[in-house]
Structure 1
């Protein structure tokens, strides 16, 4: 696993979302030239929604062969399907309902409608991941994983000082006491996230500056979970100027 971390600073939230969207489309086209399929892990949050909206609006959207792209989620609120709180519902409205992608390529985490107890729901998603594993592994090859960061440094639904952030073997875990509502969630674990080839972290706002600075300075991931997330090939923090206030100068990249 590489320790190559880069920070790309954008003037504002709008420029940030547009830049990530353009880079994403270019990268997916390049990856599809090299391999049969591409696996993308999506996240929730306001920046993530802006990015998906920008991808949908980009003229290059339809240059992607979406039939060879699979979408997964890093975490999800354990509420009914279609609920406004669900990350997959927001992603469908912003992008997935507008592209030529087979329904079988979209892999939402279970909802309460599944009839599964939350622990069984986590196991069911882990099984689906394993069913689509590449090679001899237990996971698909995550080519790009999008992650956000909370003011407390949490990412996906891995929260500071919660047991899920310390998990070393499971792929998916239930969360029943999230400090942010709703209390019940499903989340990929740190080992699952760190299997990703590329992790793209999207951060905007002054309230995120402290947690980003701590993460890049080497804080313990039990206290600042995003500090423990690293892609196998590359980890890029796409941030606006407000969020970049405490980023060490030596980590600021001039280009991707």
Structure 2
């Protein structure tokens, strides 16, 4: 099994979103040729939404049997169902609502109005992951995990200098006192992300350049959490030119 780490640079955000969308559609088609179901983890943020909108707007997306694709999320804000801050609402509006998916294909985190406490919600999502456990894991072996990267190097809701990035004994954590509002969140843990076949990190903007440069230079995952993220087969950083400012030229791939 190969394990590759690549950085692909695109001229601007729009080109970046379109390129990732095209690769996503192509990869899902390839995967569905070989397996019955594909499991994908989505991310929030402006680039996460832009990529999904580009999938929606591509005529090629109609070639995919989306009924065989399951969607999960890497993290979620502890706010009510349908709240504008929820990542699942953003994903639904950008793409998912247009696909006519069976309800069972969508796996959102519980919301703050679910009647559960934050800790109970983490346990509930862990149980949902467990229903699709595979290959000895208490969770799906995800085919693709999309992640954004914060200016501080955080991924999902695993923040620098916090214990979340160090958790290895459970698949989901409750996050309190997040340095980025809202303070309460739910997040997948690093072992779940790193068990994925492919991790695709999508980031844009000059404010991401320092964190990306540090991660690729071998920074500690406690200092820069993205440094501790790596898919089993491939890890790809899809970035725009502004985010590439501190990436050594030798690490930039010329082709996928």
Whether TM exceeds 0.5 here: the answer is yes
1:56: how far off? 0.4
Structure 2 partner of 1:82? 82
Q: Matches of 1:211 and 1:18 in 2, distance apart?
A: 24
Unaligned runs of 5+ in 1: none
Q: Matches of 1:165 and 1:83 in 2, distance apart?
A: 26
Alignment of 1:30-49 (within 5 A): 30-49=30-49
Alignment of 1:25-64 (within 5 A): 25-64=25-64
Structure 1 partner of 2:220? 220
Q: Matches of 2:121 and 2:36 in 1, distance apart?
A: 29
Structure 2 partner of 1:170? 170
SS at match of 1:49: helix
Structure 1 partner of 2:237? 237
Q: Alpha-carbon deviations, 1:148-200, whole Å to 9, x = none?
A: 10000001000000011111121000001111110000000011110110000
Q: Matches of 2:8 and 2:21 in 1, distance apart?
A: 14
1:41: how far off? 0.1
Alignment of 1:122-141 (within 5 A): 122-141=122-141
1:65 and 2:86 aligned: no
Unaligned runs of 5+ in 2: none
1:3: how far off? 5.2
Structure 1 partner of 2:207? 207
Answer whether contact 1:2 1:231 (CA < 8 A) is retained.
no
Q: Matches of 1:191 and 1:136 in 2, distance apart?
A: 13
SS at match of 2:39: strand
Q: Alpha-carbon deviations, 1:19-54, whole Å to 9, x = none?
A: 000000000000000001000000111000000000
Structure 1 partner of 2:187? 187
Q: Matches of 1:210 and 1:54 in 2, distance apart?
A: 27
TM-score, normalized by length of structure 1? 0.98
Q: Matches of 1:37 and 1:204 in 2, distance apart?
A: 30
Q: Matches of 1:166 and 1:176 in 2, distance apart?
A: 15
Q: Alpha-carbon deviations, 1:98-134, whole Å to 9, x = none?
A: 0131111000001012111101100100010011112
Of residues 5-14 and 243-252 in structure 1, the stretch that sits farther from structure 2 once superposed is 243-252
